[in-house]
Amino acid sequence: MAGIQVIKENPLCLAEIRQKLEEIKKRDKELNFRAKKTEDYLNSVTKLKLQKAEELKKELHNLGIERLRPLLIVKLIDVLPKDMDSLRALFSNESLSLKEEDFTKILDVVKKYV
């Protein structure tokens, strides 16, 4: 049996996953059990609509912070930290260091969408 080869890896925020599930639902007319559970979870947890999530992703990317990888941007969109402590907690497991001014820039952009 041949192994699976990953061609491209692209992190998705919860709003994007919810949109993908909607597309699958339209295509297949009905979701399976796991997809329904996932849809219920996403509907209860997702804080932003797809359009706002994409705008926030673009703004965070345009900040010009080189170390802010796409995976971290997705985490920021999903969690939407409201204060500096929450933001630092989100970055605590990452092996990167950001300047205080970078944290402030990120928080200022995220606060617009909270």
The angle formed by the CA atoms of residues 106, 69 and 24, to the nearest 5 degrees, is 100
Q: Could you give the percent of the chain with pLDDT greater than 90?
A: 66
Helices (H) and strands (E) counted in the chain, each on its own, are 6, 0
Distances (CA, A) of 2 to 5, 7, 8, 9: 9, 15, 18, 20
pTM: 0.85
16 pLDDT higher than 90? yes
pLDDT tens column, 47-93: 899 999 999 999 999 998 888 899 999 999 999 999 999 999 988 88
pLDDT at site 108: 94
Confidence of residue 30 (pLDDT cuts 50, 70, 90): confident
pLDDT at site 111: 92
pLDDT at site 20: 92
